[in-house]
Each structure stands twice: as structure tokens, then as C-alpha cells.
Structure 1
Amino acid sequence: PHSIFYGPAGCGKTSFARAVASGANYDFYEFDGGNLKIDDFRKILKNYENALNKPLFFIDEIHRLSKTQQEALLIPMENYKALVIGASTENPFFTLSSGIRSRSMLFEFRPLSSGDFEELLGKIREQISFSIDEEAKEYLFKSSGGDARAMLNLLEFAVTLDENVSLENLKTLRQNALKEGAKEDDTHYELASAFIKSLRGSDENAVIYYLARLIDSGESADFIARRMAIFASEDIGNANPNALNLAASTLSIVKEIGFPEARIILAQCAVYLASSPKSNSSYNAINAALRYVQSEEILKIPPYLKNHTKESKDYLYPHDFGGWVEQKYLEKPLVFYKSKGIGFEKTLNEWLEKIRSKG
């Protein structure tokens, strides 16, 4: 079946996709989600119109596909004109359309454990002659953050330098071979979680630290900016509406400039979000409303709120009454939004109280 492999870098997603293609006798085509051209995709499909076998399209970083590109995949996926396997370091529930997800099996790949690294190291030693002591081996495993590719890169550097792999050499080489950001015990997801929780806790120094860790571990600027945009609305909301504007601008800008300069924009936004007043009133309100509409009887829309009905003439146009007029908008009173009165929310509360007092 079509599949989405998601998990941190270096945990075997691409290798497993190649194994699937080889085992099932598919012709393997690999694409980068950031540079995929749908026309190339269609040209390949055309070559297989009358063929007995099918191509396997492996799309690395599938989360980087635009909405239009994702939609273009739906028909060939639906008709099984090709087997599609996508790989992503991000959760597909946040980054892929429901159409892609519903046509695919989702598989989460986890970081390699010390046991996995031990097994991999054993296979390498069958092919290459070198020695490594326990202390150096422990450092090699832990500093690779569950990333097989990072471990192999560092080991390759070390063996090239000296067949007797030492802790000292590994530490000297590691800055050039890999980044330390994500250790085995605090993976991609845990670092992101610590970053968001520090934002929520208004600890700007912790925020900058975890941001540096995310950047140093090779995390994409897009991923970090998207998380901050969500945070700006979910955890700050109308306590400081400008937070969402800054987060949206950050997301747009980092897509254009990339690292290393993107670190500056990300840092500015992160400090601003951490320093802003916090409120999740809107977040709580929409969740409460969704629970209600999914579990309770649907309320009738008052006739004068509908378009083009004879009752429409009964609608009171607020602008004809100085901006507000008392009017019933729900069949029965419901309360979903409960302001916390924090930051700019207080100003909004005062305005609502003022206009409603006229009624």
C-alpha cells in the first residue's frame, strides 16, 4: 500500500523504501519534496501506461509539498498507477492533507537505540578493520542522537584518521561530522516539546537555548517557524494579537532566506512570543464548540440570519445602530468563549461590556 514513513533523520526511512522497491520488483524513483516538479512525475507515469510493472515513487521530505502538489498525487494514488512512499521528519497529521493520509498507511520510525547501533557497528566491523574502546563507543552512540547516518559519518572520519578509534579523536572530529543537538535521550520531538513548553512558561533564556539546540541538530527553519505560528494563536491569542502577525511573517521569511540568517529571525520571534502575555481562551473556545456540535442536537439558524429569505428583512444591520444592536444570533444561549482578561483581551472585554451596556 501507499505509505508514509515519519520519524527523525537517520532512522532508516529511505533504506526501508529502497528495500520495499527491490523486494517487490518496482522501478524506484526518488524525489525531493522541496524540489519536486509535478510534470516530471506525470512524464514517468506516462511511460508506464501499458506496462505490466509499476513505478515506486519515493518522496523524501514529503511534508514540503505544496497543497497543489499534494492534490496532484491523489488520482495516481487512488488508481494505483504508482506506489507512493513518502518520508518525513514531521508528523503527517500536521503537514499532509487528509486525502494523502486516507490513501496511505502511516508508519512511525523511531531513533536507533544503543542496541541497534551495536548491531550496526558489528556489521561494519565485518567489512572494515578498526578498533574502538568502550568509552569511545559509548560517546559515538550517544552523540549520534539515534541517527544512523550521523553515527556512520563520524565513524568514517575517525577510521580514516586512525584505525584505533579513540574518544579524543571522536570529540575532535565531531564538530565537523555531525551536530550534537538531539541526543539519544532527547529526540527531535522532545526538543520541540521543551522549546514550546519554555515559550508557554515565558522563559526567554530557555527558549533561546532550545532554539539553538534545534538549529544545531539540523532542524529545518520551516518546522520551527510553523510551531511558533501555532503557538502564537494557541497560547497567546488575543492577549497579544501581534504575536500571530510576527510568527506568520517569520514563517514566510525563513522559507525565503534559510540558514544561517534564518536563526536571527527565529530568535527574534521566539523571544517576542516568550515575552508576550499568554491566553488560550480562543483555543479553549473552539475546542468546546467542536465538542458541542459533535455531541449535541444541531441548533436552527434564526430565519433573519439566512440569505434571501422573506424573514431577511427582520435582520438588524448593526451599522445602522452605531455599530451594535441587541439581537439574537443563536436559538438558545451558549457560552464557549471565556476571556481571561489578559493583555489586549482586557481591552476587547471592556469594549464588549461598553456596547452591551447600551442594550
Structure 2
Amino acid sequence: MAHASFSTEHPPLAMATGLAALAAAALLSTTIFPDLGPPAERLASDIPAIRRTAEITLLEIAALRVALALGGLSLLALWAFWPRLRETAPIRWLASRPALPLSAAHVSRRSGAILLGATLLFLAWVALGGRNPALFPPVIGLEDGPVEYATALLFVIAAGLAFAASRRGPGGRYALMHLALALGFLVCAGEEISWGQRLLDYSTPATLDALNAQGEFNLHNSFGYSADHIFMAGVALYGVMLPLLARTGPAIHGAADLTGLPIASAGLALGFAAASLIHDWSVFALLPRVPMNMAEGREFLCALGFLLLMTESLSRPVQPANSAVSRAASASSP
């Protein structure tokens, strides 16, 4: 059966994603980083670490706007010239090469429902806690508090599932990529609780203390908050855009499969998109403020999303199939 994108002159999802990227590039500003404060005030601060953080943030925003603009234009070009591009040898090779099937519809519904449901429950908790402080005590949002430890635990479980998937799958690049993901999840778990610094009560080395925005023994708060911003961008690109674009045609599915990366289901991609919207500026514009940085809630939900992605990876067939055929089979699954 021919893939839908090969019978459609212009893939609409590529156009929609490209326009969204261009809109984001035009609208992106420091207002999405309220925890860093107004850049002008930060740049004039007497504290070198604060000035350095503001400078890094401005550079990050400029780089991200350029990347979004280039990505958006590339996707619009793909949409506009697709009738010609789909006839080229590289696109036809990517479309015809064996690839692991995309997630079936019932997997998509299950994972999406869990992550979307968790996001809605978290927002409901914030709404209720903002009106009744007893429901949202300050200890919840503390460094190394319950949410941070729960997030670290989810990453550890995701690492275990990734390791199991590396041994169950077809091997080769799939095994190596799942092992890399397992290591990455373990690093995320350690970074989340600053490698047990407060639990074991040890001090931050002077060299790292001078670089770290919060004076902690971790890398993700060093050099400003760059690591957090990279993590957010990674969730958006890998968790949201890649799964949706992979479903525009077998060529993109085949290209992604070349890396050995597991591709999230469409439902889970929507869940990642919802979790990515959890920020102080978005949540507290609609709901009462609670004593917690919404970044902690977002990280918890993203960790849950990666755990679900690894469960999806374990549930997929281990034998590659023609991507066009597997895509059609996934779409028709109950």
C-alpha cells in the first residue's frame, strides 16, 4: 500500500510545522525566561554570575530564533517542492528501506492519555493549591523535595527500561542508541538531585561554585541555565516534532530510523507538547501562584514521558519492516 504522503502533492503537516516554527522565531523573547529577570537589569548587576547568566541567555535566544527560522523555512521548502523531491533517488531509498514500525494506534492512545492526564492532574493540583495552601505545602517545591526525587526516580526507571530495550531489540544501532539513552537518563537522574549533594551533605568545589547559577554540584545549572534550555529544546524536537514529522511520510521515518532512535507515538508526542507548555509565565497567568517553580513540574512530566517512550520501545516488533507497509499497518491497528 502506498504511503499517504506519496499520494498527496504537498504534506500539510510539514507546512503547519514550518509556519509554527517561523511564528515562534518571530515571537520568541526573554519573556519566556522570567526566572532570569529582565535582561537589562541582569546585565547591569554587580554580581558577575548574574551578568554572565543574562549574557548567555541573550545569546541562546538569538541562536534559537535563527534555528527556528531556518527550520521553518526548510520545512516550508520541503512542503513546496515535495512533488519533485519525492522522485529523487535518496528520498525513494529512504522511503523503501526496512525500518522498525511506528507505534500502533492503541499504544498512541494509551501513552498519550497517561501523559496528558498527568499534566491535567498537575494543573488541577496547582489550581486547588493556589486557593488552599494546605493542599500545596512549600516543601513540595524545595530543592531535593518530593517532586525532584520523584523526577529522578522516573529517570532511573526509564534508564532500566532503555537497557532492557537494548537487549530485546534487533541489535546494532538500535541497541547502541538505547544504551546511550539509558546513560543519558541516569545522568538526568543524578543532575536532578545534584548527585545527592544535600542528601550526603557535601559542599560544592570552589571552581564549580563560581560557575553554577545555584551554587550546586551539578552541570545543568552551570554556565547560566543553558542545559535546562537545551533540555527543553530537545523535548520539543525529539519528543514532539520528530514523531509528528515521521508520520508525514516513509522518507522521514526511514531517515530517523537510520539513527536507531525510538520514535514516540503520536499520542505521546501530544503529551510531550502539553508538558512543554508548563512554565511560570504560562501557568501563573491563568492559575493562582503556588510555592514551586513550574520548571520542576515540567521536568517531572517530561521524565514520565521518556519512561512511557521506553515502554513503547519495548512493545514494538523487533524486526524491521518496509516503512510504508509498517506505517499502514500501524494506522490500521486497533
TM-score by length of 1: 0.25
Greater share of helix residues, 1 or 2?
2
Choose 1 or 2 for highest CA Rg: 1
